[in-house]
């Protein structure tokens, strides 16, 4: 790897990017794999002797155990990085790519070169906070923290020299808060405060330092600090300035650097800035910090008017006047005196805090003040904009540094120190669940005195009650989260309250159209919903994001309580279910819709909520909704979730209906993907039994076809052959030419699996004739079954290997034109196996033309990829890569992520053949991790099989043997005897090359017996040839010869 592709961050937390992609946490597998990379990244020259590293990371282990652990960590780290060359072990020296970029190096270089702002940006936190108690981090952590403090002091000195005392003071105050006994920082702060005319504050800094030093070490400030103190005492007092009128912060301010920078720029450009956001978003604290940062630069100072306690608009003017220190005679209106005062007042910033309950009065006052006082600026906080002339409204975002806020606040009530990795992860989860809202997080952190973080996380479903332990001295509206939200709710109109509570039924984000469909019932009309949603957005009770809307989780809980109290829970949930059914139906191709995974994913939380409600209250609707969604679950590899919902719907609706048949076949498809053979066969058998019992001749014909297909896949070719004949005969008897064509096409699987190419070809051509003779596209009844596991001479020395190129059962139903594309693709696979590549290409070109003419996007993508496989067989790697990449991109664009991942395996073989073994292995590793995470057992087997072929061709027979064996074991666990046998046969061929006569004999005998049982003639011949070679190998004196 090069400096451009490997980037390692160590400051503020560990992360690694390879080729601009962040290595996922789960990819490291072992915690010490991360530690190994960290140690080398921090070691000069990025090189260290293996024994030194082992002793550093496993000091409590003996040398042998530490060396073994190091070997495992090295293997895991290499795999996570995706390039063995990035981390090497040679001559007992471990080395990390010397060209890799690290933020520590960049930070030190920027600081040394005087690029101070760049250095400060790079320092995102202390070195490896997750390893705070590891001895090997201590020295460098202290040195880097000291360097960061030096950078801050230099920036503050620069700001002060440029006249920006406010910025310098803010930086130095934070530095002192982080390092309260750091005397150079204290002296710098004292100097800037004195220069800004705040001599008493500067002297107070000395007293605070002296008290801290005596409490910590019974020491006094050093001579330089004492000399500065005496100098300030001797100076004459500066001119009187209005004293600061900002409340004293009782807790540290966490994060918000970016927001403060943005507010600084806005306050330079506007005279009325309103911070908006929901209650608890941190508006007041952010406004105070922004005001404090400007205080020193304002001759008129800053003033803070707390309007939250002002219940009467008539008292507004007096409250603001008092904040500014303006005496108002009893015989004069307060507003007149206030306006007269600001007309001559020098530059001043007034914070108007909590305006939402006095919106009109605050808007009029703001306009009057800015008109009368040319040097006056206003910074307001409100849950909705004031909407007056000259206002700039700025929404306060969620707190990015929420986990750090949680940890700091928890430290006040939580005994001990340090956080485990599990606790850190739970803190992240809690913060995410609470929308990173500062008030909610502080309330949650306050609970750590009595509850563990895990217990808090478990109870967040009742967060309005869990987060009720607020400050005893806080305002009533801020004492609990419930009170905060109730304050906003009480300010709504009746119409707004009605919509607010009804929107609680949405579990995730929603569109305006969805809100109109669900919430528009008396007394709300559809045309009123859009305006009311906009009002709730303005009032910070609904969040607008990229054309969709959502409620914060805590606000949704409050609205849900209001919905139940209003007696509207049931009718609103039924309206929501009806919308979800319509939405799912619109994206179900079998129901005439177009599968759009992105649209379904955006509504997935709501679809889940609707399913849960329907299972309890409307089982037939639950079955219908699951039937519309299962193809989406399949395409997104959500097999476990899809199975759970299908099973719940089936259990809730046991009647033998056509809808139950569809759900059973869907559940069978999910079971097939998960490798659950027993569940697969159970669901298929029940589905076929119900279909035959329905008074529907077409259903009976389709039942026979489905039964035959599943028999062929899992049971017996002899039984499937008989069932295929019965299905064809039934369809022909009732005159259903489409089902007959589908059955003839599917029946080609039997001779294909027996390596009877003429027999399979005859059936495919018969199916094509039947499909082309159909009068129109017709319904979607043709099952999408591919020959995507061809037997090709791709092993070393031309040995036959099974290659996984496409999903066998794609669980799509096709119309006539889609069936033609499918059959032509299968014919092409057959002709490739028969080595007639020109005929295969002709079939694929025809399939591509049909797919494009009929708008079959999935068929087009599969055909392009198939052309890529064909070019790989021809040896044109460049053309193969281009075609496969095109097919993959199209599949990804259609949301068919599993099929795209399957096609990437073919691209991996092309890359390996072109010499890019590292890229191919990285691609296969990602694919295998993806399939394992999705519990996609057939895909795991196919990936291991193809990876075995890749390693065989790369000259790594041990790896190839292990991968083929793992593939065979995966197929065997699913009862897929033919696939198991071909993987075992490939394993035996590699064992021959390794000189393992006994292993090859065992593999050959196992494969031979299985292939005889499934009547695969070519496989039997290959197994017998393997056994013959093995016998010859056994007779040699030198097995390796």
- The domain ranges of the chain are 1-162, 257-394, 402-482, 494-536+545-567, 575-680, 696-766, 776-794+803-916
Structure tokens at 763: 């059936």
Closest CA to 356 of 153, 142, 538: 538
Mean pLDDT computed over 826-840? 95
- List phi, psi (to 5°) of 873: -65, -35
Supply the pLDDT for residue 833.
94
pLDDT greater at residue 802 or residue 796: 802
Give the separation between CA 660 and CA 654, rounded to whole angstroms. 8
Supply the pLDDT for residue 159.
78
In percent, the amount of the chain with pLDDT more than 70 equals 91
15 CB-side CA count, 13 A: 9
What is the 3-state secondary structure of 242-262? CCCECCCCCCCCCCCHHHHHH
- List phi, psi (to 5°) of 798: 75, 15
Reported as a single tens digit per residue, the pLDDT across 771-793 is: 999 887 667 778 888 999 999 99
Q: Binning pLDDT at 50, 70 and 90, where does residue 1 land? A: very low
CA dihedral 357, 360, 366, 372 (to 10 degrees): -140
pLDDT greater at residue 470 or residue 36: 36
- Residues 383, 276: contact at Cβ < 8 Å? yes
Supply the pLDDT for residue 449.
64
Q: Binning pLDDT at 50, 70 and 90, where does residue 81 land? A: confident
- In order of 698, 727, 749, 754, the CA distances from 720 in angstroms are 19, 10, 10, 12
Kind of pairing, strands 548-550 and 348-353? Answer: unpaired
Give the separation between CA 587 and CA 581, rounded to whole angstroms. 10
Reported as a single tens digit per residue, the pLDDT across 585-598 is: 999 887 878 878 88
- Residues 863, 893: contact at Cβ < 8 Å? no
Sign of torsion over alpha carbons 320, 323, 324, 326: positive
* Average pLDDT value for the chain: 84
The distance of Cα 178 from the centroid of its chain, to the nearest Å, equals: 33
Give the separation between CA 858 and CA 848, rounded to whole angstroms. 11
Q: Quickly list DSSP for 458-503.
A: HTGGGHHHHT----TTS-HHHHSHHHHHHHHHTTS-HHHHHHHHHG
Supply the pLDDT for residue 575.
95
- Residues 369, 389: contact at Cβ < 8 Å? no
Element holding 776 (H helix, E strand): none
**Does the structure show a pLDDT above 60 at 109?**
yes
Sign of torsion over alpha carbons 734, 740, 746, 752: positive
* CATH number of the domain located at residue range(s) 575-680 in this protein: 1.25.40
pLDDT greater at residue 314 or residue 391: 391
Q: Binning pLDDT at 50, 70 and 90, where does residue 601 land? A: confident
Give the separation between CA 354 and CA 771, rounded to whole angstroms. 71
Mean pLDDT computed over 983-987? 95
Number of neighbouring beta carbons within 10 Å of residue 89: 15
**Does the structure show a pLDDT above 70 at 1001?**
yes
Structure tokens at 995: 């000189």
Supply the pLDDT for residue 767.
95
Mean pLDDT computed over 848-876? 94
Number of neighbouring beta carbons within 10 Å of residue 1035: 9
pLDDT greater at residue 658 or residue 237: 658
pLDDT greater at residue 1 or residue 975: 975
pLDDT greater at residue 398 or residue 652: 652
Q: Where are the alpha helices (DSSP H) in 162-198?
A: 165-178, 183-195
Supply the pLDDT for residue 256.
81
- Residues 199, 237: contact at Cβ < 8 Å? yes
Place of tokens 């068919």: 896
Number of neighbouring beta carbons within 10 Å of residue 495: 15
677 CB-side CA count, 13 A: 13
822 CB-side CA count, 13 A: 28
State pTM to two decimals.
Answer: 0.59
The distance of Cα 240 from the centroid of its chain, to the nearest Å, equals: 56
Supply the pLDDT for residue 1037.
39
Q: Fold identical between 1-162 and 575-680?
A: no
Poorest-pLDDT segment among 179-183, 345-349, 693-697, 739-743: 693-697
CATH number (2.30.30.90, 1.25.40.10, 1.10.760.10, 3.40.50.2300) of 776-794+803-916 reads 1.25.40.10
CATH number (1.10.150.130, 2.30.110.10, 3.30.420.40, 3.40.50.300) of 257-394 reads 3.40.50.300
**Highest mean pLDDT: which of 74-88, 195-209, 858-872?**
858-872
Q: Binning pLDDT at 50, 70 and 90, where does residue 479 land? A: very low
Residue 127 is classified by DSSP as B
- List phi, psi (to 5°) of 310: -90, 105
pLDDT greater at residue 715 or residue 767: 767
In the CATH scheme, what architecture does the domain 1-162 have?
A: Orthogonal Bundle (1.10)
Q: Binning pLDDT at 50, 70 and 90, where does residue 94 land? A: very high
Reported as a single tens digit per residue, the pLDDT across 482-537 is: 767 776 787 788 999 999 999 999 988 899 999 999 999 889 888 899 889 988 88
Give the separation between CA 476 and CA 480, rounded to whole angstroms. 8
Mean pLDDT computed over 578-587? 94
Reported as a single tens digit per residue, the pLDDT across 248-263 is: 666 677 888 888 888 8
In percent, the amount of the chain with pLDDT more than 90 equals 32
**Does the structure show a pLDDT above 60 at 439?**
yes
Give the separation between CA 968 and CA 981, rounded to whole angstroms. 7
Composition of the chain by helix, strand, coil, percent to 5: 65, 5, 25
pLDDT greater at residue 417 or residue 441: 441
- List phi, psi (to 5°) of 219: -115, 170
Supply the pLDDT for residue 714.
67
Q: Binning pLDDT at 50, 70 and 90, where does residue 166 land? A: low
Place of tokens 């025809």: 846
- In order of 13, 564, 577, 619, the CA distances from 615 in angstroms are 44, 20, 11, 5
**Does the structure show a pLDDT above 90 at 715?**
no
The distance of Cα 939 from the centroid of its chain, to the nearest Å, equals: 22
Number of neighbouring beta carbons within 10 Å of residue 450: 11
Q: Binning pLDDT at 50, 70 and 90, where does residue 1040 land? A: very low
Residue 378, helix vs strand vs coil: strand
């Amino acid at each position: 790897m090069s400096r451009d592709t490997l980037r390692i961050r160590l400051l503020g937390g560990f992360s690694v990017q390879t080729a601009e992609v962040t290595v996922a946490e789960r990819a490291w597998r072992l915690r010490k794999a991360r530690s190994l990379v960290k140690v080398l990244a921090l070691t000069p020259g990025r090189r260290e002797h293996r024994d030194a590293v082992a002793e550093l990371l496993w000091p409590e282990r003996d040398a042998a155990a530490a060396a073994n652990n190091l070997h495992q960590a090295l293997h895991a780290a290499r795999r996570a990085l995706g390039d063995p060359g990035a981390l090497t072990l040679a001559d007992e020296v471990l080395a990390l790519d010397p060209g890799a970029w690290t933020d520590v190096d960049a930070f030190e270089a920027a600081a040394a070169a005087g690029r101070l702002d760049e250095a400060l940006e790079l320092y995102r936190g202390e070195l490896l906070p997750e390893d705070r108690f590891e001895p090997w981090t201590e020295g460098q952590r202290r040195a880097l923290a000291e360097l960061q403090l030096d950078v801050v002091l230099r920036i503050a000195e620069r700001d002060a020299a440029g006249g920006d005392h406010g910025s310098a003071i803010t930086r130095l105050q934070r530095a002192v808060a982080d390092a309260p006994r750091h005397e150079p920082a204290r002296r710098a702060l004292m100097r800037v405060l004195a220069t800004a005319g705040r001599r008493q504050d500067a002297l107070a800094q000395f007293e605070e330092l002296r008290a801290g030093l005596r409490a910590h070490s019974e020491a006094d400030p050093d001579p330089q600090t004492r000399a500065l103190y005496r100098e300030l005492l001797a100076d004459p007092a500066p001119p009187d300035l209005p004293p600061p009128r900002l409340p004293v912060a009782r807790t540290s301010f966490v994060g918000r650097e970016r927001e403060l920078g943005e507010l600084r720029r806005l306050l330079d450009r506007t005279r009325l800035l309103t911070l908006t956001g929901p209650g608890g978003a941190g508006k007041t604290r952010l406004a105070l910090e922004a005001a404090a940062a400007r205080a020193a630069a304002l001759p008129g100072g800053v003033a803070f008017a707390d309007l939250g306690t002002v219940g009467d608009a008539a008292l507004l003017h007096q409250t603001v006047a008092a904040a500014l220190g303006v005496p108002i005679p009893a015989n004069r209106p307060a507003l007149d005196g206030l306006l007269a005062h600001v007309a001559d007042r020098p530059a001043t910033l007034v914070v108007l805090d909590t305006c939402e309950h006095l919106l009109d009065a605050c808007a009029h006052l703001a306009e009057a003040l800015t008109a009368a006082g040319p040097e006056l600026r206003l910074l307001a906080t409100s849950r909705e904009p004031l909407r007056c002339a000259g206002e700039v409204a700025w929404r306060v975002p969620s707190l990015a540094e929420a986990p750090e806020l949680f940890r700091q606040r928890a430290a006040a009530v939580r005994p001990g120190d340090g956080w485990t990795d599990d606790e850190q992860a739970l803190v992240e989860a809690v913060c995410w669940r609470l929308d990173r809202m500062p008030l909610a997080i502080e309330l949650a952190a306050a609970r750590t005195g009595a509850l563990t973080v895990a217990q808090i996380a478990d109870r967040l479903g009742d967060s309005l009650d869990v987060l009720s332990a607020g400050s005893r001295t806080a305002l009533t509206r801020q004492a609990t989260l419930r009170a905060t939200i109730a304050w906003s709710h009480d300010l709504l109109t009746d119409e707004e309250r009605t919509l607010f509570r009804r929107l609680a039924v949405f579990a995730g984000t929603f569109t305006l159209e969805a809100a109109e469909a669900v919430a528009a019932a008396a007394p709300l009309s559809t045309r009123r919903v859009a305006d009311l949603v906009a009002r709730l957005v303005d009032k910070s009770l609904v969040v607008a994001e990229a054309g969709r809307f959502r409620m914060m989780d805590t606000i949704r809980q409050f609205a849900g309580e209001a919905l139940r109290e209003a007696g509207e829970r049931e009718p609103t949930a039924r309206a929501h279910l009806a919308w979800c059914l319509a939405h799912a139906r619109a994206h179900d191709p079998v129901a005439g819709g177009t599968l759009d995974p992105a649209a379904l994913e955006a509504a997935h939380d709501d679809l889940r909520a609707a399913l849960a409600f329907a299972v309890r209250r409307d089982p037939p609707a639950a079955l219908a909704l699951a039937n519309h969604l299962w193809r989406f679950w399949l395409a997104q590899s959500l097999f476990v979730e899809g199975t759970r919902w299908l099973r719940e719907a089936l259990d809730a609706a046991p009647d033998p209906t056509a809808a139950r048949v569809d759900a059973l076949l869907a559940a069978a498809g999910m079971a097939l993907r998960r490798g659950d053979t027993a569940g697969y066969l159970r669901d298929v058998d029940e589905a076929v039994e119900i279909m035959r019992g329905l008074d529907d001749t077409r259903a009976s014909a389709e039942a026979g076809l489905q039964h035959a297909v599943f028999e062929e896949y899992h049971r017996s070719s002899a039984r499937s052959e008989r069932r295929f004949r019965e299905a064809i005969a039934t369809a022909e008897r009732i005159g259903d030419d489409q089902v007959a064509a589908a059955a003839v096409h599917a029946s080609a699987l039997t001779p294909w699996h027996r390596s009877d190419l003429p027999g399979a070809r005859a059936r495919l051509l018969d199916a094509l004739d039947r499909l082309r003779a159909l009068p129109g596209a017709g319904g979607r009844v043709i099952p999408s079954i591919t020959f995507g596991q061809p037997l090709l001479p791709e092993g070393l020395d031309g040995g036959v290997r099974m290659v996984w190129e496409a999903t066998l059962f794609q669980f799509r139903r096709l119309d006539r034109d889609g069936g033609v594309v499918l059959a032509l693709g299968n014919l092409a696979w057959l002709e490739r196996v028969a080595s007639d590549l020109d005929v295969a290409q002709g079939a694929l070109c025809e399939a591509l033309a049909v797919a494009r003419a009929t708008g079959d996007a999935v068929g087009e993508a599969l055909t392009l990829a198939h052309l890529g496989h064909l070019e790989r067989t021809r040896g044109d790697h460049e053309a193969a890569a281009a075609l496969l990449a095109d097919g993959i991109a199209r599949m990804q664009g259609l949301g068919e992520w599993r099929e795209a991942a399957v096609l990437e395996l073919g691209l991996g073989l092309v890359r390996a053949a072109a010499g890019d073994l590292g890229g191919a292995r990285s691609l296969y590793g990602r694919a295998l991790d993806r399939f394992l995470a999705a519990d996609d057992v057939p895909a795991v087997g196919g990936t291991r099989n193809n990876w075995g072929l890749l390693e065989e061709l790369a000259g790594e027979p041990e790896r190839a043997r292990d991968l083929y064996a793992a593939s065979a074991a995966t197929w065997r666990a699913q009862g897929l005897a033919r696939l198991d046998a071909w993987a075992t046969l490939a394993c035996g061929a590699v064992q021959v090359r390794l000189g393992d006569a006994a292993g090859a004999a065992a593999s050959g005998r196992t494969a031979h017996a299985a292939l005889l049982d499934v009547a695969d003639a070519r496989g039997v011949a290959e197994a017998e040839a393997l056994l013959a070679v093995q016998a010859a190998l056994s007779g040699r004196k030198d097995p390796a010869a």
